[in-house]
């Protein structure tokens, strides 16, 4: 998942703040996280069980959004592990944003900062520094966000800036669009899906960086097998593999490490829609 080093002039680190205190410029992020969770809580009472069509539609949108995040945001934009055909890239960006992953520039800047400063106080989402909830959620509205100018100078295409401008209307459509299918559609296609997708991404920052026995200065990342189910087997749970070979487009290295994101990339490559695909040196 949706960062810059906290200024040295800040005497009190943000992970020691009250959880409800956003940093400058992140009030809307905080309100968004509260909104989708509060709405989902109400939905659990009003519409806890949808029909099969709504459930399948929710699962499909979640899966497509996750694919947009892992294949496009993570492997293509953040790590340049492959190049996507512009049409495929734009489609995947749409689904990633519709799933609440944020704009491509901000996501990429935050993720590149994470890798540059992993497991240090400058890491935007390290549980080693701020604890589980800091890494899982709080950094979203309490950390200084990564600068696209600093971390994404290679992403100069105007389309990325246009997507940033479209973020608010897209999130409004994502949240309210299910109303076209009734009250159950509003909750399931909106808040339930957004909360599920949010926590799926957040587990990569929190649980996937809580490797037992990791010493100070050591890589804290770990592969989390049970998280594969939450991620619909798209590969983000093989996080130790990813940190070992961040430039690889493949996260699951063995047949038992299912990585549907990689299979999609292979399919796109055979169709000529993905090129310059980088594979891990060691499998």
Q: How far apart are CA 249 and CA 76, in angstroms?
A: 8
Ramachandran region, residue 25 (left: φ > 0; alpha: ψ -120 to 50; beta: rest): left
Domain assignments of the chain as residue spans, ordered by start: 23-275
Question: What pLDDT, in 10s, does the model give residues 94-148?
Answer: 999 999 999 999 999 999 999 999 999 999 999 999 999 999 999 999 999 999 9
Mean pLDDT of 18-30: 96
What is the Cα gyration radius of the chain? 18
pLDDT(63) > 80:
yes
Q: Assign 11 a pLDDT band (cuts: 50, 70, 90).
A: low
Q: Distance from first CA to last CA of the chain, Å, rounded?
A: 25
Q: Assign 282 a pLDDT band (cuts: 50, 70, 90).
A: low
pLDDT(2) > 90:
no
Can you read off the two tokens belonging to residue 184? 């159950």
CB-count burial class (<10 Å; 0-12, 13-18, 19+) for 78: buried
Pairwise pLDDT comparison (4 vs 100), residue with the higher score? 100
Does the CA dihedral 153-156-142-243 come out positive or negative?
Answer: negative
Q: Assign 21 a pLDDT band (cuts: 50, 70, 90).
A: very high
Global pTM?
0.94
Q: How far apart are CA 55 and CA 43, in angstroms?
A: 14
Question: What pLDDT, in 10s, does the model give residues 262-280?
Answer: 999 999 999 999 999 999 8
Question: What pLDDT, in 10s, does the model give residues 150-209?
Answer: 999 999 999 999 999 999 999 999 999 999 999 999 999 999 999 999 999 999 999 999
Closest CA to 264 of 91, 114, 102: 91
pLDDT(249) > 60:
yes
Place of tokens 């990339």: 265
Averaged confidence pLDDT in the chain: 94
pLDDT of residue 5: 43
Q: How far apart are CA 144 and CA 193, in angstroms?
A: 27
List CB contacts of 72: < 8 A, sequence separation 6 or more. 84, 89, 92, 93, 96, 104
Question: What pLDDT, in 10s, does the model give residues 40-50?
Answer: 999 999 999 99
pLDDT of residue 281: 73
Q: Assign 216 a pLDDT band (cuts: 50, 70, 90).
A: confident
Place of tokens 């200024």: 7
Query: Mind spelling out the 3-state secondary structure of 166-210?
Result: CHHHHHHHHHHHHHHHHHHHHHHHHHHHHHHHHHHHHHHHCHHHC
List CB contacts of 146: < 8 A, sequence separation 6 or more. 3, 4, 106, 109, 110, 112, 113, 124
pLDDT(65) > 50:
yes
């Amino acid at each position: 998942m949706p960062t810059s080093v906290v200024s040295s002039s800040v005497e009190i680190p943000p992970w020691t703040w009250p959880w409800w205190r956003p940093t400058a410029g992140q009030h809307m992020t905080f309100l968004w996280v509260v909104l989708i969770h509060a709405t989902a809580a109400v939905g659990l009472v009003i519409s806890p069980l949808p029909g099969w069509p709504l459930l399948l539609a929710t699962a499909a949108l979640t899966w497509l959004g996750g694919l947009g995040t892992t294949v496009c945001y993570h492997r293509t934009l953040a790590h340049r592990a492959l190049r996507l055909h512009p049409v495929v890239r734009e489609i995947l960006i749409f689904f990633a944003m519709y799933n609440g992953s944020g704009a491509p520039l901000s996501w990429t800047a935050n993720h590149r900062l994470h890798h540059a400063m992993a497991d240090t106080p400058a890491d935007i989402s390290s549980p080693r520094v701020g604890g589980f909830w800091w890494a899982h959620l709080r950094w979203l509205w309490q950390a200084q966000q990564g600068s696209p100018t600093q971390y994404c100078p290679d992403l100069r295409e105007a389309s990325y800036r246009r997507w940033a401008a479209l973020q608010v209307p897209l999130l409004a459509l994502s949240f309210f669009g299910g109303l076209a299918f009734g009250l159950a559609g509003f909750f399931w296609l909106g808040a339930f899906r957004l909360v599920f997708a949010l926590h799926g991404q957040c587990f990569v920052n929190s649980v996937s960086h809580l490797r037992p026995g990791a010493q100070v200065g050591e890589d804290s990342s770990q592969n989390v097998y049970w998280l594969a189910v939450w991620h619909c087997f798209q590969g983000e749970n093989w996080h130790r593999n990813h940190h070992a070979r961040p430039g690889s487009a493949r996260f699951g290295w063995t047949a038992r490490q299912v990585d549907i994101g990689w299979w999609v990339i292979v399919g796109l490559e055979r169709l000529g829609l993905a090129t310059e695909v980088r594979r891990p040196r060691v499998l």
